[in-house]
A and B are shown apart, each in its own frame.
Chain A
Amino acid sequence: MRVVHYLNQFFAGVGGEDAAGTGPELRDGPVGPGRKLAALLGDEHEIVATAVCGDDHAATHADFAAALVEQARARGAELLIAGPAFTSGRYGLACARIATAAAEAGLPALAAMHPDNPGLAEAAGTSVIESAETARGMGPSLERLAAAARKVASGEELSIQDGRVGPVPRANRMAERSAAVRAVDLVVARLGGDREATEIPLPAFDQVTPAAPIADPADALLALLTEGGFVPVGNPDRLESARATKWIRHSLDGHDSAEAGTFESVHGGFSTQWANAEPNRILPLDAARELEREGAIGGLHNEYFATTGNGTTVADARRFGVEWAAELRQAGIQAAILTAT
């Protein structure tokens, strides 16, 4: 098979975080760890091209994946392999997105990352193979990935044995007995001491690696963020009141306070009367400006980001978080305060 391999800017040798903003490009043949991958794939398969994109660019440009997939197909790609992304969140997200975009375009694809990678949640519709936690485990990760890729190339299904991780689709089926009868059975099981029996697995608690503390707030650039549906009055960007699929940004230039009549909340999950009477109750701009004037912080970012946290899907919320982090880093922000409703 003709394979296209996706890597981020670091593994492609473009650069580190400084190069995270580089845009998508397609290069000939295998690059970096792709060479080892090519060797493991064997003679029947050839990495004809390597797709590369900077992690920040990928996180902030929804179209990067489609563009690369198109280029890959123009090169005759029959299989796309992304990663391994280990625990690198933006890279994992990019891998998930490009693999999904490929699958949607009819191009078989798989990605590799560690099970804790937040990108995993976005890998619906494509297969993800478990990788090591860090690049120290590149060797074994590539071996597993290559083995899985060979299976996909020969049309075989992947299973847990192959290292498959990530959202396993839950499908409807008709049981032998009604839910009511099964509930009574579960009671009997529980009373008998079985604490594991369940038809729905409990969602796992998320693991988030804390960012290192900032040295001195007086030097730091701070951003204000919110999921309180905080928008300019009239909601010009049409932020949804529930099941938000996007986030908005707006300038804070010239505002020393979140004035009633200038800003409002469109959050559909609570009564917005108190927020609209005093919008600083959602985005604490007046207090932040005070701290800025006094030098308690180095400066306040000239924009805020907002979404509506009301029935937002976990996948979308994760995506917003990764995108916000990328945007803020690019803007040189060191710390952010998110108000949650």
Chain B
Amino acid sequence: MGATTQREGSGGGLRRLVHEVRELALGEQTSYASGRLTVSLQAARALVADPALAAVRLACAAPDELVRIVGALDAVQPCTKGPGGGGVFPGFVGPALPPGRGETHVLRGAAVLAAGYLPRAQEAVIDMSGPAAPLSPLATTQNLVIEFERADGASWEDVEAALRRGLLRVAVHLADAALEAEPDAVEVLPEPDAGPAGLPRVAVVTNLQTQGKFKDVFVYGRSMSGGLPTVISPNELDDGAVVSGQYGHPALKNPTYLHQTHPVVAALRARDDLCLAALVLCPEPVEQGAKELVSAHAARLCAGLGIDAAILTKEGGGNADADVALKMDLLEEEGIAAVGIFAEMAGRDGTGPPLVVAPTRATAMVSVGNYDERLSLPACERALGRDRVALLDRPATDALELPAAAIYSALSPLGWGRLTCHEAA
């Protein structure tokens, strides 16, 4: 802990050293070699240990296994810049300073998750196989699942904070095991603005939920509640500058893992006919006046940065639609093309109005699917996190009928998924 970040003069940019993980198992020592990640039960438990937590258990869940994770909370991609982290997860593991430069090792194909009961956490389900598997990004990763109980007398806030610290520390610990390994790939992420002139400048505007306990998202370890939008380098996301403490709306969840791997940022980076010009992070206030101020300020920021087009992502349900809709309209007023990513809430049969609050002037919207449509999940062999699905009052290993709304990140507005809506017949 506390290793210095590497700076190269006034330049920025990040080199991402990718280590693929194809197998995950518990063992004596934590090690990584040739795609196989072994986790020391003892070491991991020690990193999670906290007076607020009792009965911490670890388990592995791999893609295609007949395993169901119930009550998934946050998920984190293992990353590190040096032994102990070297500055990743600022404000939690590393010091609260902007990361995102130098080199970062990531274990691609692995994730550390916490699963269990927290108040205000709607039960999120991840099926590692079956019809619900393609819907969740965490069904594609080798998962180290941390289960827990609340220690006697501990407050739930302390439990949640302890879980977060534990998850992030374990994530660093796992990535540290790959520090000496030859990376499978090296990806160079230039700073925004470093691209050739003349390309359309596209901003990503990412709204973060800021509703207090168990419904907050942290930037450099701090909540953006009550604040104004800010601009950070997209490269800071890789180093865990944004950490999720939000557990509502399972399908709409943007876990830390998806902030780290921000799909929209990645999609923009993949194009050479567009320039990823900026990442704007905004709080999502509940109050109308604050929504209008934050949205207007975000639009001004984009205009000031010479942005030509913006892609907007959000977090939360219908209330959060308003923040996106407001921004889209204000951006269009500034002459900036706005594209919003929305989840639809069209009811069980898909005939209700898709959005609670739609933009009035802007029109370009991407759909990540209908929240309310039902899925039939088959019975599975093993369940992690919780042993009953409270929503249905059934054992977690049973065959279950659930709405898409219950599947972890199935409709994440960060755009990972291929789920969408079309007009049926």
Q: A173-B420, A199-B366 are in contact. Are A179 and B354 (CB under 8 A)?
A: no
**By the criterion CB–CB under 8 Å, are A167 and B267 in contact?**
no
**By the criterion CB–CB under 8 Å, are B424 and A315 in contact?**
no
A39 interface residue per 8 A CB criterion:
no
**By the criterion CB–CB under 8 Å, are B349 and A180 in contact?**
no
| Cα distance A186–B421 in the bound complex, in angstroms | 16
**Chain A residue contacts of B339, Cβ below 8 A:** 183, 186-187, 190
Residues A173-200 near B (CB distance < 8 A): 173-184, 186-191, 195-200
| Cα distance A182–B202 in the bound complex, in angstroms | 14
**Chain A residue contacts of B350, Cβ below 8 A:** 169-172
**By the criterion CB–CB under 8 Å, are B415 and A174 in contact?**
no
**By the criterion CB–CB under 8 Å, are A314 and B353 in contact?**
yes
Least CB distance, A119 to chain B, in whole angstroms: 14
A254 interface residue per 8 A CB criterion:
no
Q: Which of A157, A176, A179, A187 contacts B337 (CB 8 A)?
A: A187
**Chain B residue contacts of A173, Cβ below 8 A:** 419-422
User: Chain A interface: which size bin?
Assistant: 35 or more
**By the criterion CB–CB under 8 Å, are B344 and A124 in contact?**
no
Q: A180-B264, A199-B421 are in contact. Are A314 and B337 (CB under 8 A)?
A: no
User: Chain B interface: which size bin?
Assistant: 35 or more
Of B104-112, B148-156, B268-276, which stretch is located at the interface?
B268-276
Q: A172-B404, A191-B200 are in contact. Are A203 and B355 (CB under 8 A)?
A: yes
| Cα distance A168–B346 in the bound complex, in angstroms | 11
| Cα distance A178–B413 in the bound complex, in angstroms | 11
**Chain B residue contacts of A199, Cβ below 8 A:** 365-367, 420-421
**By the criterion CB–CB under 8 Å, are B356 and A169 in contact?**
no
Residue among A172, A173, A315 with the most chain B CB within 10 A?
A172
B289 interface residue per 8 A CB criterion:
no
**Chain A residue contacts of B271, Cβ below 8 A:** 184
Of B91-99, B368-376, B382-390, which stretch is located at the interface?
B368-376
Residue among A169, A191, A202 with the most chain B CB within 10 A?
A169
**By the criterion CB–CB under 8 Å, are B424 and A171 in contact?**
yes
**Chain B residue contacts of A180, Cβ below 8 A:** 263-264, 266-267, 341, 414-416
Q: Which of B263, B264, B308, B419 contacts A174 (CB 8 A)?
A: B419
**By the criterion CB–CB under 8 Å, are B424 and A187 in contact?**
no
| Cα distance A173–B353 in the bound complex, in angstroms | 18
B358 interface residue per 8 A CB criterion:
yes
**By the criterion CB–CB under 8 Å, are B373 and A172 in contact?**
yes
A134 interface residue per 8 A CB criterion:
no
**By the criterion CB–CB under 8 Å, are B425 and A170 in contact?**
no
**By the criterion CB–CB under 8 Å, are A187 and B309 in contact?**
yes
Q: A190-B339, A311-B318 are in contact. Are A171 and B422 (CB under 8 A)?
A: yes
A262 interface residue per 8 A CB criterion:
no
A251 interface residue per 8 A CB criterion:
no
Q: Which of A172, A183, A202 contacts B415 (CB 8 A)?
A: A183
Least CB distance, B129 to chain A, in whole angstroms: 16
Q: Which of B318, B352, B416 contacts A179 (CB 8 A)?
A: B416
| Cα distance A311–B355 in the bound complex, in angstroms | 11
Residues B317-372 near A (CB distance < 8 A): 318, 337, 339, 341-342, 344, 346-347, 349-356, 358-360, 363-370
Which 9 pairs between the two chains have the least Cβ-Cβ distance?
Answer: A180-B415, A180-B263, A167-B351, A124-B351, A179-B415, A169-B350, A171-B424, A190-B337, A180-B267
Give chain B's interface residues, CB within 8 Å of chain A.
Answer: 134, 200, 202, 263-264, 266-268, 270-271, 273-274, 308-309, 311, 318, 337, 339, 341-342, 344, 346-347, 349-356, 358-360, 363-370, 373, 404, 413-425
Give chain A's interface residues, CB within 8 Å of chain B.
Answer: 124-125, 157, 159, 167-184, 186-191, 195-200, 202-203, 311, 313-315
Known: A174-B420, A183-B264, A190-B337. 6 other contacts (CB 8 A): A124-B352, A170-B350, A170-B370, A170-B424, A190-B364, A200-B355
A sample of 28 inter-chain contacts (CB < 8 A) reads A168-B423, A169-B346, A169-B351, A169-B424, A171-B422, A172-B421, A173-B419, A174-B134, A179-B366, A179-B415, A180-B266, A180-B341, A181-B267, A183-B415, A184-B268, A184-B311, A186-B339, A189-B364, A190-B339, A191-B309, A191-B337, A196-B363, A198-B364, A199-B365, A199-B421, A200-B358, A200-B365, A315-B352
